[in-house]
Amino acid sequence: MKVVFLFFLLWMAGPLYSQSGSVYQKYPGETNTLLWEVSGNGLAKPSFIFGTFHLLCEDDIHFSEAWQQAITNSSEVYLELDMDDPATLLGGLMLMNMKDGKKLKDLYSEMEYKRVSDFFKDSLQTPIGIFQRMKPVFLASFLYPKMMPCAQPISVEDAVMKTAKAQDKEIKGLETMAFQASLFDNIPYEKQAKELLDMIDSINNYKLNFETMLNSYRNQRLDELGKMLTDPDFGFEENQAELLDNRNKNWVGQLKNIMVNQTVFVAVGAGHLIGENGLIALLRAAGFTVKGLENR
């Protein structure tokens, strides 16, 4: 699980498309787009899937005309979580804590804990003591801004919601915060703690890995992101089933019903689109036509 925390950013939302010259012209470079159209298999209208990145500099977030049109043509917007519901965020604060009274100090030797504590104090100006019960995977989120070239990064989901709200689109979620938080109870806290310490000890290497991932996302290179996900050096495969594959299968089951009589825009972490158990492959296997769209 060497850098599985980085992948948290990839997986932790009238048919003008057929008109000549439309912004929905089918895009042949299918691994080089984040915007996909789902049609066929009994759907009355096409729907859309978009791969997000959970943390970007605001200047890096640019939505194409095709993307804007997809939102306009959709009746509802689905994210991984219903981030428009204040209860989702408030409830999530409690669910970030470890079970069984575990504390961060319990997961480290005295010297290891000091390294974590000193980093939070010196580099993040944050006392670690107030986060004693927080799952280490969530503590890692404090480190992400240190890897960014901007002072105040935002999530792509925030930008999606802003556009959806401006068009009075209803926002819904495919999962609950309780479910997402429970995923990290299935990864031993000791492993999470080791990953957090590895990030702190090798922050410059993590920055390089992060920049590689970020560039692939900026260039909409799903093939490159897929190679990173399957690279043994990234140590992601041991948790892939529960963090990606099983969730994707559940979402496809939901989308079969959601998409039947309406057009929806689904925005989820780009990691969920990739591979034989990604949304693109699973929807195709279920009989749908899934095509990449020009998204520049």
Q: What is the tens place of the pLDDT at every residue in 224-263?
A: 988 887 776 665 567 778 888 999 999 999 999 999 999 9
What residues make up the domain containing 194? 4-94+148-292
For the entire predicted model, the pTM comes to 0.88
- Residue 260 CB partners (closer than 8 Å, separation 6+): 42, 43, 44
Q: What is the reported pLDDT for 85? A: 76
Structural domains of the chain, count: 1
Percent of the chain with pLDDT over 90: 55
- Residue 146 CB partners (closer than 8 Å, separation 6+): 123, 124, 203, 207
Is 191 domain-assigned?
yes
pLDDT band at 70 (very low <50, low <70, confident <90, very high): very high
Q: What is the reported pLDDT for 28? A: 43
- Residue 195 CB partners (closer than 8 Å, separation 6+): 1, 2, 3, 4, 5, 136, 137, 140
Is 102 domain-assigned?
no
Longest dimension (CA), the chain: 67
